[in-house]
Amino acid sequence: MGRFDGRVVVITGAGAGIGRDSALAFAREGAAVAVLEVRAVRAEQTAELVRQAGGTAVAFPCDVRDGVQVEQAIAAVAERFGRIDVLFNNAGTTRPGDVVSVSIEDWDMVLDVNLRGTFLVSRAVLPQMLALGGGAVINMGSVDGLAGDARMAAYNAAKAAVVNLTRSMAIDFGPRGVRVNCICPGLVGTPAVLRMFSDESRQRMQAVTPLGRIGRPGDIASLAVFLASDDAAYINGTTVVADGGLMARTGMPI
C-alpha cells in the first residue's frame, strides 16, 4: 500500500528535473500522475518513464501562463481521473538582471511563469479539491524568495510573492480542508541549473553549503511527497527550506 493509493496528483513543469523526479516519486507511492509541461515531448517522456516503472501517468501539454490552456488541461485531468487530490506548482524559470538591465520581456516571463502560473493552476484545481472535501497544494518557492541575490531581481520578486501567496491560500482554504505549503530549495542540480552555472560556480556554492553539495532533484521530490501526504496533516501555511544549510550562515566574514 502506498501513501497515495487512489489519489491523483497534478505536477506542473514535470518535463525534467524536480518535476520529473516528483512524478516518479508520487507514482511509487501509488498516485496517478497528471504531467503538465509546456513542451509536449518532455511531458510524454516523463509520463512514459512513470509507466515503465509500473505507475500511472498521463501527459497534458500546457503553458501555465495561459489561462485558457490551464483551464482546459485541468478539465481534461478531472475528466480522465475523476478527481484531483494534490497539486504541485513546480513550473518555474529565471532570467538574470537587475531592475535596470533586465528586459521588460524577461521580467514578464519570470513573473508570469512563477507567479501567474501558480495562481492560474491553483485557481483551476482548487474547486476540484473543494468538491472532494480537501487536498494539498505545494508551491515552489526558493531561497531567492527569502533573501536577495545580485542580478536576480525578477526571480527574487516572483519567488517572494509565491511564498506569501502560499500563506494567503493556506488561510483561505485551510478551513475547507485544503493544506497549502511552500518549498524553498537552494541550488538544485536540475538540467536547467547545470546549463546555467559553470562547474566553478557550482563548486563555490558547494563550498559555502554546510552539507558540502548542491541539492538533487530527488531531495525536493521527497519533500513534496511528504508535505502532500497524510504524514503532514497538521502542516499548513508553512515554508520549508531545503538548502543543505546554506541560509544558516550569516554571511559575515570570518
Q: CA 195, CA 115: separation in Å to the nearest integer?
A: 23
Residue 234 falls in the annotated catalytic set: no
| CB contact set of 46 (below 8 Å; sequence gap of 6+) | 14, 15, 16, 19, 20, 23, 35, 37, 57, 59
Among 41, 11, 39, 43, which Cα is nearest to 25's?
Answer: 11
Q: CA 151, CA 19: separation in Å to the nearest integer?
A: 26
Q: CA 175, CA 156: separation in Å to the nearest integer?
A: 30
Catalytic residue among 81, 119, 155, 173: 155
Question: What cell does 168 get?
Answer: 494567503
**Residue in the block written with cell 480537501:** 134
Three-class DSSP category at 100: coil
Question: What cell does 52 get?
Answer: 515503465
Q: What is the residue type of 11?
A: I
Active site residues: 155
